[in-house]
């Protein structure tokens, strides 16, 4: 029985499916490709982008970075480092550098998380204030 949501590595999805799974707009996915954050596995004869499940996963990481307010440039740097670590062919030197890079991003991510939490508290303040003001005479 075939899974309703294919997740085997050979399945290819077109951009609409991908966007919906990840929760990004078509425009945004195309934008990220244009910025070199990912490249579709291949294209149909007519030019339709086809993405692998691994690339959907990559987009999820991208979306997470977006949630943390990282810029495209930072995403690129992090993804590059990650690619190096995943490539079994990369040398020791490169791996060490990549690991350091990743660690640095982990730190920055933690900082951003704190900022996000602060924003959330801020926002909760407004929600409460509005409830009060709208409810009063």
Residues at the site binding its own copies, with contacts judged by CB under 8 A? 61, 63-65, 67-68, 82, 85, 99, 102-103, 105-106, 109-110, 112-113, 116-117, 119-120, 122-127, 129-131, 133-134
Judged by beta carbon distances under 5 to 8 A according to partner kind, the member of DNA, its own copies, none in contact with residue 96 is none
Cα separation, 84 vs 58, in Å, equals 14
Supply 135's token pair: 């409810």
Q: To the nearest whole angstrom, how small is the minimum distance from the Cβ of residue 93 to DNA?
A: 29
Residue 49 makes CB contacts below 8 A (sequence gap 6+) with: 14, 15, 33, 40, 43
Q: Is 23 helix (H, G, I), strand (E, B) or coil?
A: coil
Binding site for DNA (CB under 7 A): 14-17, 25-28, 30-31, 35, 43-49, 66, 71-73
């Amino acid at each position: 029985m075939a899974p309703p949501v294919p997740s085997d590595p050979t399945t290819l999805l077109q951009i609409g499916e991908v966007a919906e799974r990840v929760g990004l707009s078509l425009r945004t996915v195309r934008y990220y490709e244009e910025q070199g954050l990912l490249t579709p596995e291949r294209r149909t004869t007519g030019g339709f982008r086809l993405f692998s499940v691994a690339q959907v996963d990559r987009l999820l990481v991208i979306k997470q970075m977006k949630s943390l307010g990282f810029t495209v440039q930072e995403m690129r740097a992090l993804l590059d480092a990650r690619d190096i670590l995943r490539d079994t062919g990369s040398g020791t030197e490169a791996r060490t550098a990549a690991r350091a890079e990743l660690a640095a991003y982990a730190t920055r991510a933690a900082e951003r998380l704190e900022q996000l939490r602060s924003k959330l508290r801020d926002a909760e303040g407004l929600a409460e204030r509005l409830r009060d003001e709208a409810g009063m005479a």
